[in-house]
Amino acid sequence: MEQMNRRDFLALSGTVASGMAAGLWIKGGSALASVGESVADDRYGLVVLVDGWRADLFAEMLEGGELPNIKEHLVDRGTMVEHCVGAFPSTTGPAHLPFLTGTLPGRNDVPGVRWVDRKENNLRDYCTLEGLLINKDYSLGAATLYEFLAGHKTLSIFEIVSRGAFEAVRIAAKVVWWIRSDELWEKFDEAAVEVAEDRYLRTNDPPRFTFVWMPGMDHLAHFHGSVSETVREEARNIDGHIGRIAEVLKKCRIYDKTLFALVSDHGLRDNEQSRDPRDILEDLDFDVKPSVAKKDVWNDLRNYNAARAVSGNGFAHVYVAKRTGGHWPLGYNDWEHTPDYNDLRNFPLKGRGHIDLVEAFREEEAIRLVCVKEEPGRYLVFSGNGQATIERQSSTYKYTVEGEDPLGYSAHPHTKGLMDGAFHSANEWLRASCTAQYPDGVVQISQLFDSRRCGDIVLSSMPGWDLMKEGHIASHGGLEKEEMVVPVVLAGPGIAHKRMQYARTVDVFPTYLRFFGLPKIDGQTMDIFG
């Protein structure tokens, strides 16, 4: 198949929006006109994304015989990835986009659950009703699987990333995000299966591709712990849901024609203490915007000289603005110009002279990693006692260290061999670091700064610490392996029965394109075809 990039594909296509309807779920979607590509009649796809399933917990339960349906319908029929690395930040939304667009958060310009676009004076908080806006926030150049399958029936169940889906079935009211009912969140996962049963069985024309989001485990883990018995019980429930979905495929006579995947977006790690970056900034006498969700005239970004945007509670963007001359007597905060690295190391504050913001954050007990962009293609990573430099040239990377190694690569048996002063490919770094404490760190950190919405400073919390006071006893968003490594299993026609050592979740997207025989685009196809 001739290679076609996303922009070429979209240039040949037009967007047609469908209507909206209310009910238990809200339905809506859009479709791209066909570009003449056809999908074979015997090709179907289905992805179930279980939010917040730690890879080590998945492996333990699978080995212990607690997931019999997943074993039967997926593991015993297909390929399981031993170390599949997700996206940084490791959080719902940004970490879903790799599966559906083949792009990491820095490349699709959705760098967190919360973010600030200083150039456009725009802010987002997807944990509010603004979650409905995510489909307009990521780049049009990042075509979704639904858009590549335009002209075919596609179905999105509860998934917030749904642009181009023939039908998008959404959870009715986003206010449920704040409801702390375990039973309710468990029912969302069951309801997702009920939607699938209805849509597949009510006609003789099942969807060609379906993406299902099961959000319950993530919520339960936040308030009960990442490997708690409550989470384990929900994992057993999900195993039952997989069995029901497999039976649906059999009833539709497409079980042996479907590329069926079970994936997760991130894991979680437990914590006992909390420290909000807003408090750190206020201790330094910054006037910090209380919430990026508030945007009325009294809460305009320009009224403040700092903002923080936390994701998953283990990750945060920090944005700062210089006070500059303007209308007497107040002046104004300059959000149009991004401070450079030297500004961050010598930042002017009224009444405080100049302060070193990097040093201020790296001295905080709650912060494990402080990341900044020194210049395009050169990124610095700080820990309490060390500093590392990531250099990127044409998709190759070099990693050097001063003092203590923030990512621990110099002591890791596989990564230390790449610290030879030379540039190495992204795949080499993934292969070497997939078992490290910070898997794929050089790629993940550098890609995030490609987003214009990325913070001036990026923080990953110390294990045991939470960066937002919401009562969570488990968090995610950061770069620790417990957050970044996720279970991924794929089964279907022509899929080899084996174990893969490593992959990225972003590789699932081109793998489905290959399965459907659609245009090859940039991206690494997983080696799963027999």
User: Same domain for 299 and 407?
Assistant: yes
Strand partners, 249: none
* Residue 183 clears pLDDT 80, i.e. is over it: no
User: Same domain for 306 and 389?
Assistant: yes
* Residue 28 clears pLDDT 80, i.e. is over it: no
Over residues 92-114, mean pLDDT = 96
Number of domains in the chain: 2
User: Same domain for 440 and 491?
Assistant: no
Which residue reads 């479709």 in tokens? 31
Q: What is the pLDDT of residue 326?
A: 54
Q: What is the pLDDT of residue 325?
A: 58
Q: Which of 429, 16, 78 is nearest to 263 (CA)?
A: 78
Count CB neighbours of 242 within 10 A.
24
3-state secondary structure of 477: strand
Over residues 116-132, mean pLDDT = 90
User: Same domain for 124 and 67?
Assistant: yes
Over residues 360-378, mean pLDDT = 97
d(CA 445, CA 390): 9
User: Same domain for 38 and 183?
Assistant: yes
> Is 95 a domain residue?
yes
> Is 1 a domain residue?
no
> Is 523 a domain residue?
no
User: Same domain for 189 and 157?
Assistant: yes
> Is 85 a domain residue?
yes
Confidence grade of residue 181 (pLDDT, cut at 50, 70, 90): low
User: Same domain for 109 and 243?
Assistant: yes
Question: What angle separates helix 55-63 from helix 229-251, to the nearest 10 degrees?
Answer: 70
d(CA 255, CA 232): 27
3-state secondary structure of 471: coil
User: Same domain for 250 and 315?
Assistant: no
d(CA 504, CA 502): 7
How do residues 449-474 score in pLDDT, each as one tens digit?
Answer: 999 999 999 999 999 999 998 789 99
> Is 524 a domain residue?
no
Q: Are 428 and 418 in contact (CB under 8 A)?
A: yes
Q: What is the pLDDT of residue 37?
A: 60
User: Same domain for 194 and 307?
Assistant: no
Tell me if the pTM is above 0.85: yes
d(CA 83, CA 500): 8
Domain closes at, from 471, 494, 524: 471
Mean residue pLDDT across the chain: 89
Is residue 105 reached through a cis peptide bond, with omega within 30 degrees of 0 on the bond before it? no
How do residues 245-294 score in pLDDT, each as one tens digit?
Answer: 999 999 999 999 999 999 999 999 999 999 999 999 999 999 999 999 87
* Residue 13 clears pLDDT 80, i.e. is over it: no
Over residues 465-488, mean pLDDT = 94
CA distances, 327 to each of 254, 331, 507 (Å): 68, 5, 52
Q: Which of 145, 47, 46 is nearest to 101 (CA)?
A: 145
Alpha-carbon dihedral sign for residues 395, 401, 402, 408: positive
Range of the domain at 365: 272-471
> Is 525 a domain residue?
no
> Is 522 a domain residue?
no
Structure tokens of 112?
Answer: 């967190």
User: At residue 81, what are phi and psi to the nearest 5 degrees?
Assistant: -90, 125
User: Same domain for 229 and 256?
Assistant: yes
Q: Are 234 and 52 in contact (CB under 8 A)?
A: no
User: Same domain for 426 and 489?
Assistant: no
User: Same domain for 128 and 79?
Assistant: yes
What CATH number did the domain enclosing 189 receive? 3.40.720.10
> Is 530 a domain residue?
no
DSSP 180: -
